Chain A
């Protein structure tokens, strides 16, 4: 009898294991909270604190005249984290408005270096340093054009670094906008065959850049009581909370754990969290659209033909840029710019060009690309998660929660990424 019972228990245990029901324990079920707070260290994959990352720079266009106001963007900056022996090389592309050394890029550098890869980290084509030094047009937002720019940069970096890198094969990944660009770069490489990427991973990509930007544009405006004109009040309150948590902890750095501390001390209302996401996005759009305006002399927020000096006040341009948002960038700068180059360029064409739907056939066909995201990613418009499932089929991995990139540092997510490339 006792034996039978033991057997019974054993059977139940094994059947449980086979069902693989270890639950996903990422803690935030609210996608907006997840997006802002990220992954507290308790849930993170343990990774080395430091990896040997070196910042490097490169002149992309020899004949480019850097405007005085951007004197400090003399070269394109990227990072190399090198293995000492023969290893796969992975290119990593940052998300909207981010540099090669954003917190999420640092995470990916550590994870991939730890897994035994050389890592080359690239800024987003929407990041000012890239717009000034490496964008052909100075007007980011078209996935194909931006990916062509990235491909050129990758080619030049490879030319420059290959002597000191012993590479077995090439991988490619990116998060958020960088995820969508990864797919386009993979597509470009199918023709040019310089890297012959064996695997490509899209992390939390948008389906339509246009849709995602619309969602993010509304996030600040719709969630500040009384609208943007009351921004100061919202800002003061938020700053006060951050400052008080900062004061309480003598040894803090601005990371997920700090945000988690703020979160615990001041449990936020959803509206406030949304406004914070909107605020961060607003800042990076302001950077992007002002830089793009100067580089393309579009006369959008800076008068056309005006030459800004290196010490000139930009405060008034900031006020306009911070309020313009992506929608106005699209209407007043992006669309007119491409229409002036190609009379057949329509609004519809522009919106399609900003979507991965424009390479849908390739995405369905190719076996090398996988996609990982969350059911509740806040940058996806209604129906877009289903679209991703349909296109990628078994190559799509969906986590139940995590918002937009909030769970990237979670141990399951990091293991998934590493497994995808390593196996």
Chain B
């Protein structure tokens, strides 16, 4: 699962949204009526009490998380997807692919730093190789040239680095706009964002723009990045139609992260 990259200002505004959502949140379970009749089929009838259920997760913030999940769905519906649809409408496919490649290339910094932090020399070397090939032969990263040379993308982030050194995922957390995460992965996101922004600043410095142009350039870069990330993700909220989508997404996210940490 890929993540967006945000500046500290954007992150703090998201935290604010999150706090507002927490404060407006009230009890999750509505009052029960007196005339309830117990269900005909219960778990006790179907499975021994010590059964491990794959769907279980450490999710003490579930009430909050479910509210954010819904918020994200609405945000997607009214803001994100209309923008992405507009983007898809006005750009030809090869441009969109080029944009995706361009950001993938910029984000190699994340893969590189985290491979190093995990002392994975080969992954770090492959990442440097990819960056070199894609930035030159790939025309500033717009063309994915390294794949065909056998240099496959090494997806590493700070959440995985923490996991590599034994930090567990902690609580499941649905972040506004970003979506599924955990206490660990959300902290990782902040660290990766800081590194990424330092890197972008260093690159932009090279371009010798005046400071207002520089800020505007970075803003455009960040906005297009967000659009590109949403464009790439096929996921649609409530697209499975399953009443258990929240649970299923949670399970898949946690599993996917577990696999990523282990390799």
Contacts and interface: CB of A to CB of B under 8 A. Distances in A.
A400 to B, nearest CB: 34
A321 B42 CA distance: 9
A303 interface: yes
Interface string A195-212: 000000000000000000
Interface residue tally on B, bucketed by range: 35 or more
Nearest to B57: A315
Contact of B259 (A243, A290, A303, A318): A243
Contact of B37 (A235, A299, A316, A328): A299
A352 interface: no
A332 interface: yes
A250 B37 contact: no
B242 A287 contact: yes
B43 A316 contact: yes
B33 A306 contact: yes
B122 to A, nearest CB: 15
A128 B28 contact: no
Interface in A295-312: 299-312
Contacts of A19: none
A268 B196 CA distance: 42
Contact of A320 (B29, B30, B42, B73): B42
Interface stretch (B44-52, B185-193, B202-210): B44-52
Given A313-B62, A319-B47, A323-B47, A304 B243 contact: no
B46 A323 contact: yes
A312 B30 contact: yes
A99 B56 CA distance: 26
B19 interface: no
A70 B62 contact: no
Contact of A232 (B28, B33, B35, B52): B52
B39 A319 contact: no
A307 B242 CA distance: 18
A232 B47 contact: no
Q: Is the contact region of chain B dominated by helix, strand, or loop, or is it mixed?
A: loop
Contact of A306 (B36, B48, B247): B36
Interface in A227-247: 228-229, 231-232, 235, 239-240, 243, 247
B43 A239 contact: no
Interface in B59-89: 62-63, 66-67, 70, 73
A305 B35 contact: yes
Contact of B241 (A129, A235, A322): A129
B66 A311 contact: yes
B117 to A, nearest CB: 20
Contacts of B152: 248, 250
Contacts of B38: 299, 303
Given A286-B242, A311-B70, A332-B41, 16 more contacts: A72-B73, A232-B53, A250-B147, A283-B242, A287-B242, A294-B243, A300-B41, A304-B37, A306-B36, A308-B30, A309-B29, A309-B30, A314-B243, A320-B39, A321-B244, A324-B41
5 contacts: A72-B238, A307-B30, A313-B28, A318-B244, A320-B42
